[in-house]
Amino acid sequence: MERFSPDDQPENHSGSAATRRRLLARGVQIAAALPAAVIATGVDSALAHPGKHDDDHRNAPNGPVRFGPPFRGLRLVRVADVQVGDFSAVNPGSDSLRSGEVRVFPASNGQSSRVWVHLAGARANTTYNVAFVRLNDHGREDLGTIVTRASGNFAGFTTTMLGGVRRAGTFVIATGGQDEFVTIV
């Protein structure tokens, strides 16, 4: 076992404690400024939604949307892929869809909800109609249209809010009179 004498102790650099304090203070400044910088650059959107583009939230009226836990979205699938008997499509379509999702957020008025739609790999530059189909009578409530980009992707809010709270039904996305996508569990 080695023994150290008092002479073996490291030299006391009076500047090292001051340097550590300056570095710590600078780190605190950077940490405090980082959230504002991330929000200003839109990086938060990219981190919250990997694989999405900066313009995904182009129609969000108050900037990027932040989805926090424990939120769960409703998955969208092609109508043609739904179990037979679970959904009666109005003239089912055949558009492609790599992935899709619908999310519902309570509006600030407490009397309605905002509906957010994400499509990836759908038909390019296509206008789709979004509707809420009520469970009790299968009546459709129009929520407006969305338009995919050249990539076939879309992410944003519908133009019309869903009235009421605690609604029972499903979301259907259609084009040209054909039901293309529906939410599933």
DSSP category for residue 176: T
Provide the residue type at 101 as one letter.
Answer: E
Q: State the pLDDT at residue 95.
A: 93
63: left (phi over 0), alpha (psi -120 to 50) or beta: left
> What does the pLDDT read at residue 165?
81
Integer Cα distance of 171 and 101 in angstroms: 10
What are 100-159's pLDDT values in tens digits? 999 998 888 888 999 999 999 999 999 999 999 999 999 999 999 999 999 999 999 999
pLDDT, tens digit, 9 for 90 and up, residues 62-112: 444 554 444 568 999 999 888 888 888 767 888 999 999 999 988 888 889
Contact 59, 147 (CB under 8 A): no
What pLDDT is stored for residue 62 in this prediction?
Answer: 47
Whether the CB-CB separation of 94 and 125 falls below 8 Å is answered with: no
pLDDT surpassing 70 at residue 12: no
For residue 22, give the DSSP letter: H
Contact 179, 159 (CB under 8 A): no
